[in-house]
Amino acid sequence: MLRREFLSGSSLAVGLSAAGIATAAPLRAAKSILDNGAVADGKTLNTRAIQRAIDDVSKAGGGLVYVPPGTYLTGGLTLKSHVTLYLDSGSVLLGSTSFDDYEYHPGPPVQGDANGHHLVFAQNAEDIAICGLGTIDGQGEAYWENVHRQPMPPEESWRDVSAWDYRPKNHNRRPSPMLEFAQCRNVRLSGITLRNSAGWTLRPIACETVVIDGIRVRNPNYGSNTDGMDITACSNVFVSNCDIVAGDDAICIKSENPYGDVLPTRNITITNCTLTTSCNGFKMGTASRGAFENIVFSNSVIYAATGSALNTRVIGGINVEVVDGGSADGVVVSNIRMQNVRAPIFVRLGQRTKRDGTFLRNVLIDGVDAEGAVIASSITGVPGLRPSDVSVSNCRIRTVAAGEAAWRQREIPEVIDKYPESTMMGRLPAYGFYCRHADRVRLRDIEVITDRGDERPAIVADDVEDLILRGLELSAPAGDAPLIDLRNTRRAFLTGSRSPEKMKTFVQVSGAASDRIVLLGNALPKEQQAAVCTGGARNESVDVR
């Protein structure tokens, strides 16, 4: 395409308008990478040609760098202030498979998931964008190797992960994250496809005002540590209309900053996305060294294909975690559909790193519709660290795990300092919700249905202070398990629930610390016991009205 044709191309103007980018100023300072000798054969290394185009537009005061249709092999590129990189439909920036083609940018440690080598990088830049309907391809498989591990036995498949079949080769020499934006302001990504990342795909870190709209991520579900996006220590981030297939966490919100002081991760809104992975769908947690404030995730789908192997399915749908000494205050999750997600909800306050002032509070989860669960949802802390003000409401969960009576009695490990994962405590004693070491927990208007016979209670609360269970519809456990099992629970209020037929006990209370438990206005079959006290619990600790 001739330069004058490119500058006046109506299709480009229409594309920019659709991407939400004003066309007049960028087109006056537009530059095609072909002007600097880029070759679209997928073999010629174009790093210098593309970087010169970016530098020229930046020196001119800003504008647009145009990538026309074709495949352009490249190493690491640095985006500059006031520059928009526009990838036309049919264009591919193809990452080099030689690690030496990626410049090292100081900041993160040289080793690890974030190692300072990136396909596209920006630091201390403002008003930058990558848009269009083109593709950035990291050729990640060139950086992995199969470990040829032995398959897990079938009874352990619920905690297996297909991505464990691979690991980074050559001492983790791989560009990761593929796209890194550090300490930038006013960043926009729209329309593009990001695929085959060698590690994390996209990380804005310590940025202010980031808009990510309508991007596609396509990583193999066995890709080693191939997160979809990692929003880290940023403020005012808007993610919408994204379609993510990843080999690790699809969307992970972190609070750390190897570039400087740990900043709060705050004012994050994520909506209208579809997520699938063999790891976690939406996760807020590792790393969690700083504060999380005002996090919203809504109107999205987390799924795994029907009939897919268990170890390729999403491990946890909604994961809210603080384990590295940070804090979280104000998390709202609403209107989430899940299909074949192993554990729908996982809320965890732990102590992998010991620091003063850590807490997890004010979490509201509403409107989750999940089917195909095999791991109970959980809300847990550890001795001395208790999540508080956690509310789950208006949810429907269907489970397919045939839970065994032995799981009900097993001692659940504290795993105080371990990596947080919904599988970390092993098989849980409940089929619906397991709550431990927590304060002010609310489970309201929730239906949990077991598609196969399960010999565990629907809900187990252990060392919970101020518990409200209201409007529950729960499948009857197989065998003699109670519907609800309260262990050393104080100030519990159970109301407005309808107990299923053909079971002996609605609530079992145990533990000498159990106290001030009130049952009011529940619909129970005539032959069913409302409450049974055992294991040191006093009959006067329960008030049935």
For residues 463 and 18, what is the distance between their CA atoms, to the nearest angstrom?
54
For residues 320 and 540, what is the distance between their CA atoms, to the nearest angstrom?
36
| Residue 226 included in any domain | yes
Tell me the C-alpha to C-alpha distance, in Å, between residue 125 and each of 83, 182, 187. 9, 8, 9
* Phi-psi category of residue 262: left, alpha or beta, with phi > 0 → left and psi -120 to 50 → alpha: beta
Quote the pLDDT of residue 23: 41
Q: Three-state secondary structure along 285-297?
A: EEEECCEEEEEEE
Contacts of 25 (CB under 8 A, 6+ apart): 62, 63
| CA 8 to chain centroid | 42
Quote the pLDDT of residue 306: 86
Neighbouring-strand partners of residue 135: 92, 193
3-state helix, strand, coil split of the chain in percent (to 5) is: 10, 45, 40
Quote the pLDDT of residue 29: 67
| Residue 55 included in any domain | yes
| Among candidate residues 501, 498, 482, the one with its CA nearest the CA of residue 542 | 482
How many folded domains does the chain comprise? 1
> Domain residues for 88?
1-143+174-243+250-270
Dig out the tokens for 485 from the structure: 């099992």
Quote the pLDDT of residue 22: 45
Contacts of 202 (CB under 8 A, 6+ apart): 177, 178, 179, 189, 194, 212, 217, 228, 229, 230
For residues 259 and 108, what is the distance between their CA atoms, to the nearest angstrom?
7
For residues 492 and 465, what is the distance between their CA atoms, to the nearest angstrom?
7
Q: How many residues does the chain have?
A: 545
| Residue 370 included in any domain | no
| Among candidate residues 520, 508, 514, 462, the one with its CA nearest the CA of residue 490 | 514
Q: Do residues 99 and 174 lie in contact, with contact meaning Cβ atoms separated by under 8 Å?
A: yes
Neighbouring-strand partners of residue 29: none
Beta strands 91-95 and 542-544 are unpaired
* Rg of the chain taking only CA atoms, in angstroms: 26
Q: Do residues 128 and 80 lie in contact, with contact meaning Cβ atoms separated by under 8 Å?
A: yes
| Residue 433 included in any domain | no
Residue type, 96: S
Q: DSSP code of 143?
A: G
Give the other-Cβ count within 10 Å of 534's Cβ: 11
| Residue 481 included in any domain | no
Give the other-Cβ count within 10 Å of 76's Cβ: 20
| Residue 151 included in any domain | no
Quote the pLDDT of residue 223: 84
CATH of the domain at 123: 2.160.20.10
Percent of the chain at pLDDT exceeding 70? 94
Quote the pLDDT of residue 25: 39
Upstream peptide bond of 177 is cis (omega within 30 degrees of 0): yes
Quote the pLDDT of residue 263: 93
Quote the pLDDT of residue 110: 55
| Residue 60 included in any domain | yes
Show the low-confidence residues of the chain (pLDDT under 70): 1-29, 108-112
| Among candidate residues 113, 120, 107, the one with its CA nearest the CA of residue 47 | 120
For residues 316 and 276, what is the distance between their CA atoms, to the nearest angstrom?
11
| Residue 322 included in any domain | no
Tell me the C-alpha to C-alpha distance, in Å, between residue 378 and each of 37, 87, 237, 442. 57, 43, 28, 13
Q: DSSP code of 4?
A: H
Upstream peptide bond of 287 is cis (omega within 30 degrees of 0): yes
Give the other-Cβ count within 10 Å of 120's Cβ: 25
